[in-house]
């Protein structure tokens, strides 16, 4: 098992990993899975900015990915990243998501991000909420019923993690 930067030839694997989340889950609010070509464009955009996109490989197969992109397009957000983590259904709950997210946190820090935001689809998504909490993210907000998928109104949970060193304690 290893984690490495994603490459353009990984696009089909990225699309295959992401498709079940789109088609059957509420973690993603997309309703049509992107093609391999679309995933390649997304990968190229992230990498062109110097932001991290990592893949987890087991026995030569990509079975998970994580990336960090700027939280919003405006310049004032340039030090705030948004995380995305997806693991293939047959590899979930094996520690891959945790390994990917922690590697993405480290890579985001090296890329110049100071804060990370997780925008988690569906407030009932305990797996993603738990993963982010285990990786040092704190719940900071909820947007109620802002999405709709599968005939359900869905919330978004916001979690945040600082990448800056903790301030030194005040002198006594």
pTM to 2 decimals? 0.92
Contacts of 150 (CB under 8 A, 6+ apart): 26
Number of H helices, E strands in the chain: 4, 7
% of the chain exceeding 90 in pLDDT: 91
How many Å apart are CA 157 and CA 54, to the nearest integer? 23
The pair of structure tokens assigned to 60 is 């030569």
Residue ranges of domains in the chain, CATH in brackets: 2-162 (3.40.630.30)
Contacts of 144 (CB under 8 A, 6+ apart): 155
Tell me: the pLDDT tens digits for 77-100? 999 999 999 999 998 888 999 999
Q: What is the largest CA-CA distance in the chain?
A: 59
138's enclosing H/E stretch is strand 138-149
**Helical H segments across 6-163, by residue range:** 11-24, 36-48, 96-110, 126-134
Question: In this model, does residue 52 exceed pLDDT 90?
Answer: yes
Q: What is the mean pLDDT of the chain?
A: 94
Question: In this model, does residue 112 exceed pLDDT 80?
Answer: yes
**Helical H segments across the chain, by residue range:** 11-24, 36-48, 96-110, 126-134
């Amino acid at each position: 098992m290893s984690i490495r930067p994603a490459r353009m030839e990984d696009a089909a694997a990225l699309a295959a990993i992401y498709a079940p989340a789109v088609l059957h889950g509420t973690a993603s609010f997309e309703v049509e899975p992107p093609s391999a070509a679309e995933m390649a464009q997304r990968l190229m955009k992230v990498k062109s900015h110097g932001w991290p996109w990592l893949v987890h490989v087991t026995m030569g197969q990509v079975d998970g990915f994580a990336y960090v992109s700027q939280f919003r397009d405006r310049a004032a957000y340039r030090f705030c990243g948004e995380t995305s983590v997806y693991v293939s259904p047959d590899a979930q709950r094996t520690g891959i998501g945790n390994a990917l997210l922690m590697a993405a946190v480290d890579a985001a820090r090296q890329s110049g991000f100071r804060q990370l935001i997780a925008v988690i689809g569906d407030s009932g998504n305990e797996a993603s909420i738990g993963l982010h909490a285990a990786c040092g993210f704190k719940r900071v907000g909820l947007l109620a019923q802002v999405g709709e998928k599968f005939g359900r109104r869905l919330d978004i949970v916001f979690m945040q993690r600082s990448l800056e060193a903790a301030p030194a304690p005040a002198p006594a």
